[in-house]
Amino acid sequence: MDSFEPDGNGVANGNGATNGNGAQEALPPPPPVIPPNVVPVRAEGDQPPEPVKKKVMRVPIARRGLANKGQKIQLLTNHFKVGVNNVDGHFFHYSVSLAYEDGRPVDGKGVGRKVIDRVQETYDTELAGKDFAYDGEKSLFTVGPLPRNKLEFTVVLEDVISNRNNGNSSPNGHGSPNEGDRKRMRRPYQSKTFKVEISFAAKIPMQAIANALRGQESENSQEALRVLDIILRQHAAKQGCLLVRQSFFHNDPKNFADVGGGVLGCRGFHSSFRTSQGGLSLNIDVSTTMIIQPGPVVDFLIANQNVRDPFSLDWSKAKRTLKNLRIKTSPANQEFKITGLSEKTCKDQMFTLKQRGNDADGEPQTIEVTVYDYFVNHRGIELRYSGDLPCINVGKPKRPTFFPLELCSLVSLQRYTKALSTLQRASLVEKSRQKPQERMKVLSEALKCNHYDSEPLLRSCGISISTSFTQVDGRVLPAPRLKVGNGEDFFPRNGRWNFNNKKLVQPTKIERWAVVNFSARCDTQSLVRDLIKCGDLKGIQIDAPFDVFQENPQNRRAPPMARVEKMFEDIQSKLPGAPQFLLCLLPERKNSDLYGPWKRKNLAEYGIVTQCIAPTRVNDQYLTNVLLKINAKMGGLNSLLAVEHTPSIPLVSKAPTIILGMDVSHGSPGQSDVPSIAAVVSSRQWPLISKYRASVRTQSPKVEMIDSLFKKTSETEDDGIMRELLLDFYTSSGKRKPDQIIIFRDGVSESQFNQVLNIELDQIIESCKFLDEKWNPKFVVIVAQKNHHTKFFQPGSPDNVPPGTVIDNKVCHPRNNDFYLCAHAGMIGTTRPTHYHVLLDDVGFSADDLQELVHSLSYVYQRSTTAISVVAPICYAHLAATQMGQFMKFEELSETSSSHGGVTSAGAVPVPQLPRLQENVCNSMFFC
């Protein structure tokens, strides 16, 4: 099966072209292959063709009823009720094409809104006074039709620059530079003429919104809701906000939080219209994006590179960082985009300055001057420190335009899209979290300030938005009973428990092991003594280690791979045989570049279980947490659900059942060529649902669908992920094939649900059939989403909702089977519930049984003694993908960066494969 990529509009390639908005356009009929009256002749020996089975497309199942278990609780949610009075009207969709006078298409973003605003001002009567909802690019919507199906206009715009409102500009948005300055700038400020073509594309009945609320979703209803979202985006754009997908950010320093490195977290709001059982609602939430610190360019560079003064800056790095950022120059207060830096310093960089009057030959007179000389002597501007620094170039490569550094300031609200460092991320989390009450207050204020009731388009659609939080009924499920060592039962309280004075339910034995210290400052003797003592209290028997290997100080400066190689040479020369386990001490707490090479060496080359620690404060709690991970990796279990011990899990304990967690992790936003990593974990040793193993593969960058679940390499060979997992289940579960396969899929949006059901599930079924043609297991497919904006609050209480809170009404989907679950205790900020969507259920779970199973799976995570916010198999898939991703990160990438898979001019590039893990660790919980 070919790998399948969505085309970005949520409409798969191959089922009708889309017109760039996800709306379907009719395709022309395919050309006839055979003339209509010819009967094909069958070649000798051909079998008569089998009738082609028409493939039935699966769609998400409908809700089968509500659950009742648990203690009832009244909650509020950040959905605001929307009234729709005009369901008889129509939205008219027009496509917009913008071109310059000479016919070149306009591709720059940000100009579109200005041009369309000017069209509206200039041609109001030709447009019958209609209001537009314009998406800033190629789509425009109106309520009711425009006078004609195709309209062409010409408009003129003076200086085309962005309209982000910048508090300090002069009233008309630009100061007036003097005449000489205008000449020097090659007049980028003269007016530009645009041709605008607006042509009818589609008609969308508003009735579609009412249909969607009855659960009859269609292409039309998605489009109609999209129009409403565009109206709100446009409303925000007119207030000078930065728009990022469905979030908007005001230029207000109150909303900025410095996270270091010249980067600010900017707080804004997300808003989207949702259909729900309670009708149409507007979901508004607090949202954060990263922006570049506005103000003097030099201040930003000093913060970004963490240096003391401008003379310590790395200018080649600065050039990369600054490219394409927008600046305002003083004193003229004009806006430009940075194209680069000057080769020489301001005092040495020459350019040709035209003089008044002509020379003897009638040619314009010119002189060569330095940028410094021009600004100081010709313009009379004092320069304090820029003379010895490069200038900023805002011109074209062939025709540069230079400004001294100190005259340039970065414009506000410019997004920072690179990955954050660990420190920046920690600072962002620290500064952007809000307690539930504070969040509710901010959201109430946002709704009041936005004045949606004055938005003319919303009024003409007959739409009104309530300003009060929607009330919903929740239920709090009781925590499942757990089993620990010596047959003891215990009940978690408030989603937490501990192992004080308790033994682990299945402790392992650690016999042949050693300690490896990569230059961490640590008293290894006492660490080992405390670990053995703590293990004893938990029931883990730990023998004395064979040795403690200290890194040779001479190797500390070597590259990570070499340090790991040297360490292994040392281990091999001294140990009598392969150790069962290695405890590794790393010098850095986070992101040690030794981690990837070390894990790869142990797991993929030698098959040794290893635990890395970076000990700073070692106490009993720290050692217990380390032992929980070691025990799980070595094949033990820390705690079990009482229902899996007895075994009495509804439907799961009755028939062999495998539980899968599936996730794909992608490189950070700036890395377009890093392979994506698909991980699937599977339960083993049925009837247990607490033990897992993982299978991980790379795939093309940014592809969300897993393409290696079934990978037929010959008539008898399948090298896919599923075969590996199914065979392991069979051998670990007493030679039983699973009759039931429960799949938890993370990280897909609603537009991709059909792909999960029809592409990924098909691969899994093919893999089963390839093992045994007659085998027909039953499937349950559940998608878990953390990336959404629904939050729940306890009215009148400062606390988060209690762990175990489940909501399956009012704000849930009008037709589909979905529910929200807050399994964990939110200790900081506002709890983010996980939104579970049950796409398929062949097994026939009741709503109560399924919600209880999902809740229980939040309590089997072996690394912690708390309920976690999303089911353990998904967390494990995420961990496995991240850990094996580290294997790739530090490979010596001798090839060019495009060799990471991705598309070059020569077509798709092969993706580097991950090494397979050694036999004795591949079934372990190495990711724990």
pLDDT in tens, 319-371: 999 999 999 998 888 889 999 999 899 999 898 888 777 766 667 788 888 99
Please report, as a single letter, which amino acid is at residue 120: Q
Tokens of 432: 């952007």
Question: Which residue has better confidence, 726 or 182?
Answer: 726
The fold of 507-634 is Rossmann fold (3.40.50)
Q: Which of 480, 476, 495 is nearest to 72 (CA)?
A: 476
407 pLDDT above the threshold of 70: yes
What band does 141 get if pLDDT is binned at 50, 70 and 90? Answer: very high
187 pLDDT above the threshold of 60: no
Give pLDDT, residue 301. Answer: 94
Q: Which of 507, 514, 524 is nearest to 578 (CA)?
A: 514
756 pLDDT above the threshold of 80: yes
11 pLDDT above the threshold of 70: no
- Which H, E and C letters describe 828-841, residue by residue? CCCCCCEEEEEEEE
- DSSP-based three-state secondary structure for 685: coil
Give pLDDT, residue 881. Answer: 92
Residue extents of the structural domains in the chain: 86-160+190-235, 295-411, 507-634
Give pLDDT, residue 459. Answer: 87
Query: Contact, 722 vs 763, CB < 8 A?
Result: yes
Q: Which of 246-255, 363-372, 817-826 has the lowest mean pLDDT?
A: 363-372
Q: Which of 40-49, 88-97, 198-207, 664-673 has the lowest mean pLDDT?
A: 40-49
Average pLDDT of the segment spanning 176-195? 53
Query: Contact, 392 vs 406, CB < 8 A?
Result: no
Distances (CA, A) of 889 to 103, 222, 413, 665, 677: 46, 40, 32, 13, 12
Q: Which of 656, 728, 717 is nearest to 689 (CA)?
A: 656
What band does 181 get if pLDDT is binned at 50, 70 and 90? Answer: very low
Report the mean per-residue pLDDT for the chain. Answer: 85
The burial of 34, by beta-carbon neighbours within 10 Å (0-12 exposed, 13-18 middle, 19 or more buried), is given as exposed
DSSP E strands in 277-363: the ranges are 279-292, 295-296, 326-329, 334-337, 340-345, 350-358
- The span from the CA of 231 to the CA of 75, in Å, is 30
Tell me if the bond preceding 650 is cis, omega within 30° of 0: no
13 pLDDT above the threshold of 60: no
892 pLDDT above the threshold of 70: no
Question: Which residue has better confidence, 449 or 197?
Answer: 197
Average pLDDT of the segment spanning 86-93? 87
What band does 190 get if pLDDT is binned at 50, 70 and 90? Answer: low
Give pLDDT, residue 524. Answer: 86
Q: Which of 53, 204, 216 is nearest to 141 (CA)?
A: 204
- The span from the CA of 924 to the CA of 609, in Å, is 9
Average pLDDT of the segment spanning 165-184? 37
Average pLDDT of the segment spanning 92-109? 86
Q: What is the pLDDT of residues 592-608, one digit of tens each?
A: 888 989 999 899 988 99
Give pLDDT, residue 553. Answer: 86
Average pLDDT of the segment spanning 362-385? 86
What band does 657 get if pLDDT is binned at 50, 70 and 90? Answer: very high
Give pLDDT, residue 49. Answer: 55
What band does 8 get if pLDDT is binned at 50, 70 and 90? Answer: very low
10 pLDDT above the threshold of 50: no
Average pLDDT of the segment spanning 820-826? 91
Say how many Å lie between the first and final Cα of the chain, rounded.
33
What is the greatest pairwise CA distance in the chain? 106
Tell me if the bond preceding 687 is cis, omega within 30° of 0: yes
- DSSP-based three-state secondary structure for 230: helix
Give pLDDT, residue 159. Answer: 62
Average pLDDT of the segment spanning 374-397? 88
Average pLDDT of the segment spanning 473-493? 91
Tokens of 312: 């310590």
- The span from the CA of 461 to the CA of 85, in Å, is 7
Give pLDDT, residue 360. Answer: 66
Cα 18 to chain centroid, rounded: 25
Give pLDDT, residue 359. Answer: 67
129 pLDDT above the threshold of 60: yes
Distances (CA, A) of 577 to 461, 512, 581, 605, 922: 77, 9, 12, 15, 20
What band does 165 get if pLDDT is binned at 50, 70 and 90? Answer: very low
Give pLDDT, residue 172. Answer: 34
Distances (CA, A) of 502 to 203, 484, 488: 67, 7, 8
Angle at 295 between CA 329 and CA 257, to 5 degrees: 155
Q: Which of 20-24, 46-50, 526-530 has the lowest mean pLDDT?
A: 20-24
Give pLDDT, residue 877. Answer: 96
Give pLDDT, residue 419. Answer: 83
Average pLDDT of the segment spanning 744-764? 93
Question: Which residue has better confidence, 167 or 885?
Answer: 885
Q: Which of 343, 322, 308, 168 is nearest to 251 (CA)?
A: 168
Give pLDDT, residue 266. Answer: 94
The fold of 295-411 is paz domain (2.170.260)
Long-range CB contacts (within 8 A, 24+) of 645-652:
645/483, 647/687, 649/687, 649/689, 649/853, 649/856, 650/845, 650/846, 650/849, 650/852, 650/853, 651/740, 651/843, 651/844, 651/845, 651/849, 652/687, 652/689, 652/740, 652/742, 652/853
Question: Which residue has better confidence, 617 or 791?
Answer: 791
| DSSP 8-class letter at 759 | I
Q: Are strands 340-345 and 334-337 parallel, antiparallel or unpaired?
A: unpaired
What band does 455 get if pLDDT is binned at 50, 70 and 90? Answer: confident
- The span from the CA of 498 to the CA of 484, in Å, is 10
Average pLDDT of the segment spanning 204-213? 88
Q: Which of 2-11, 92-101, 447-456, 816-825 has the lowest mean pLDDT?
A: 2-11
Give pLDDT, residue 469. Answer: 94
Residue 350 pairs in a beta bridge with 370
Average pLDDT of the segment spanning 761-786? 94
Question: Which residue has better confidence, 168 or 611?
Answer: 611
| DSSP 8-class letter at 24 | B
Average pLDDT of the segment spanning 802-809? 94
Write the CB contacts of 426 (distance below 8 Å, at least 6 apart in sequence): none
Q: Which of 187-196, 216-225, 278-287, 645-654 has the lowest mean pLDDT?
A: 187-196
Q: What is the pLDDT of residues 626-638, one digit of tens each?
A: 999 999 999 999 9
Give pLDDT, residue 52. Answer: 59
Q: Which of 159-173, 555-569, 837-851 has the lowest mean pLDDT?
A: 159-173
Give pLDDT, residue 863. Answer: 93
Question: Which residue has better confidence, 576 or 871?
Answer: 871
Tokens of 650: 């509804």
Task: Report residue 485: phi and psi, to 5°.
Answer: -65, 160
Q: Which of 186, 164, 193 is nearest to 328 (CA)?
A: 164
